[in-house]
């Protein structure tokens, strides 16, 4: 499955190790990631994605939004999800 992480960027879900909220990382980790992308001119982002090959990607989308995009069913037991309804029956003949 392909995960759209914003702009024109996509990653394979099978390659994704983790999706992290940038603000919750330690200040040291934040500085390391900022320095990695400084030359690309990326200054505003909310999420950091780590892939199996040890590379980082950035996204302006929240980590919750990205994680939700990667799930077939976001929250299976929530009240707002409805079970699939049967197609309406034909009007009964009199």
Give the integer Cα–Cα distance in Å for 83 and 61. Answer: 29
Domain boundaries, the chain: 2-69
DSSP code of residue 94: -
Residue 47 pLDDT: 92
Helix and strand element counts for the chain (H, E): 2, 5
Give the helix/strand (H/E) hosting 32. Answer: helix 27-37
Residue 7 pLDDT: 80
Residues 45-87: tens digit of each pLDDT? 899 999 999 999 999 888 888 877 766 555 555 544 445 555 5
């Amino acid at each position: 499955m392909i995960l759209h992480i914003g702009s024109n960027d996509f990653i394979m879900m099978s390659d994704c190790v983790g999706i992290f909220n940038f603000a919750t990382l330690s200040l040291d980790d934040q500085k390391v990631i900022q320095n990695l992308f400084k030359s690309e001119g990326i200054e505003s982002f909310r999420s950091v994605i780590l892939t199996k090959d040890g590379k980082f990607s950035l996204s302006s989308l929240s980590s919750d939004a990205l994680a939700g995009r990667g799930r077939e069913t976001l929250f299976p037991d929530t009240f707002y999800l409805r079970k699939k309804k049967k197609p309406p029956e034909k009007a009964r003949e009199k």
